[in-house]
Amino acid sequence: MTTRVALVTGASGGIGTAIVDRLRRDGLKVVTLDITGDVDVTLDIVNDPFPADVFDHVDICISNAGIVDTIAPAHSMSAEKWHRDIDVNLTGAFRVIQACLPGMRERRYGRVIAVSSLAGKTGVAGKVAYAASKAGLQGAVKTIAIENVGYGITANCVQPGFVETPGLQALPVETQNRLLAAIPVRRFCRPAEVADLIAFLGAESSGYITGQEIAIDGGTGLQTVTIGRDHP
């Protein structure tokens, strides 16, 4: 059997590290990419040219790189902040996927998994550019799924809620507690749980799943208001 090659962007972050560890345990050859850190390929996904010798051989493209720290409401969002989120989370993600598609189409096999966010579905106060970038990514991935379904290529988005990454753990305790109160399962998602979902979507056995947005959010996207007795 041919060993599949997986590309993971944002590979040095909390979720990225978990994805890389999981795929390597599954026996895949994993190429790591990030703008910094101990990775195989160091580049800026927005501006740098992509090395064809890397992207031409990718069977599983996991677009995980993104920025989450831009905070500004819509009425005062600066053009600089807006473009920062759109450039990385949408344009950069698309560039990565686009670079992998020709090789996948030639081999008539591929798995594209984009790490989006629940914010792309529900919106979130103070993060208009982030929510817009993730919603745009979801639309792009659906289109990629349509265009490539006849080439043995699937394309899906995962929508994590609040994941227990170093960035989240650095938030003030009172902020973390407020977030936990909004999650029905009353805990944050573990990076390994996101990695497990991505490994499933990247497997050969998942070829019948394409064009989907799959939330992993502990029920955060559910409507929990009741007109009867309170839930326990």
Amino acid of residue 82:
W
**Among 109, 130, 151, 208, the one annotated catalytic:** 130
Please give the full DSSP string across 121-176, using - where no structure is assigned: HH--TTBHHHHHHHHHHHHHHHHHHHHHGGGTEEEEEEEE-SB--HHHHTS-HHHH
C-alpha–C-alpha distance, residues 117 and 147, integer Å:
23
Please give the full DSSP string across 18-49, using - where no structure is assigned: HHHHHHHHTT-EEEEEESSSS-SEE--TTTSP
Active site residue 109: no
Q: Annotated active-site positions, please?
A: 130
